[in-house]
Amino acid sequence: MKSLTEHLWFNTKNRIDFINITDKVQDLIKKSGVKEGIVLVNAMHITASVYINDAESGLINDYQKWLKELVPMDKNYEHNLTGEDNAYAHLMRTIMGREVVCAISNGKLDFGPWEQIYYAEFDGQRKKRVMVKIIGE
């Protein structure tokens, strides 16, 4: 059994941002030497998410509009009474999820035709990380 654990680091310019990390994950799979197995990709911060969907700019814009409608950024959240101003980011993370687990077949992500892995940042402009853990043969 082979395994590899690495971290991807991000410091986004925008408070909310979406970054396609599929190629970075695939590069780590190649580095691991795993041909058959699984990869776990998870955000290590409670105001960020990792998810799988289409790499289409209109969809990214739709996500941002939809999330801001569901979770307005300027609402008077109780969490913000602690001195924070990011309650919305915690709620957006809950909607979008924490991690993805993907199959590795023949040394590659075993995806459908449009699937891509995204890092979604909801409280950016500071250094954050994503853990990538690869296990297999």
pLDDT tens-place string over residues 119-135: 999 999 999 999 999 99
pLDDT digits (tens, 9 = 90+) for 41-93: 999 999 999 999 999 999 999 999 999 999 999 999 999 999 999 999 999 99
Sketch out the chain's domains with CATH numbers.
2-136 (2.60.120.460)
Average of per-residue pLDDT values in the chain: 97
pLDDT band for position 108 (cuts 50, 70, 90): very high
Strand ranges (E), 1-137: 2-10, 17-20, 37-43, 48-54, 99-105, 108-109, 115-121, 128-136
What pLDDT sits at residue 81? 95
Other beta carbons less than 10 A from residue 44's beta carbon? 14
Residue from 101, 98, 96, 97 nearest 40 by CA = 101
**CB-based contact 80:89 (threshold 8 Å):** no
Angle at 40 between CA 19 and CA 59, to 5 degrees: 30
Mean pLDDT of 107-129: 97
What pLDDT sits at residue 82? 95
pLDDT digits (tens, 9 = 90+) for 2-37: 999 999 999 999 999 999 999 999 999 999 999 999
CA distance 136 to 127: 30
